[in-house]
Structure 1
Amino acid sequence: MNVTVAEMKANLSEILRKAAAGEDIVVTRHGKPYVKVSAEKPVERLPRIGAFKGQFKIAEDFDVLGPEWDEYIK
């Protein structure tokens, strides 16, 4: 697929989606090939839920307030 620089600016999201899906995109400038946009390999994504399980330690008393908070929790 060939697109001009102006078309690339106007439709960037759509063109990048096509490139990510495997389509080679050639961007032209003044009628000549300027750059080629293509997906090299799929982007690996971390799972959202549980991605950091076991990597953080929280102290047993993290929610215990010190005496300086007594006047605020009455």
Structure 2
Amino acid sequence: MKRVPIAEFKAHCSQYIDEVAGEDIVITKHGKPVARVVAVSPSPRDSIWELYDSLEGKYEVLGEVVTTGRTWNAQP
């Protein structure tokens, strides 16, 4: 984890934002940690859709996918 004084971070913020993908950055004030900058990881929902998109055209659904194949009576 890289430690950076707050004044240095403020002066070169965009540079440190570019570097955060490789390593977390701890921002210090008077030598004491006050904040940490970390890279954003993709949300699970994003990765699910990436998986879905990667499967497009590779598989074909055959048959009925809406029913269990059994009849049932929902009347009380």
- What TM-score do you get using the length of structure 2 for normalisation? 0.50
Identity of aligned residues (%): 47
CA distance in 2, matches of 1:9, 1:37: 13
**Residue segments in structure 1 that go unaligned for 5+ positions in a row:** 45-74
Name 1:14's counterpart in structure 2.
15
What letter corresponds to residue 12 of structure 1 in structure 2? C
The within-5 A match list for 1:45-64 is: none
Structure 2: gaps spanning 5 or more residues:
47-76
Runs of 4+ in 1 over 6 A off after TM superposition: none
Alpha-carbon RMSD: 1.9
* Residue matched to 2:41: 41
> How far is 1:24 from its partner?
0.5
**Number of the residue aligned with 2:64:** none
Normalized per residue, which structure has more helix?
A: 2
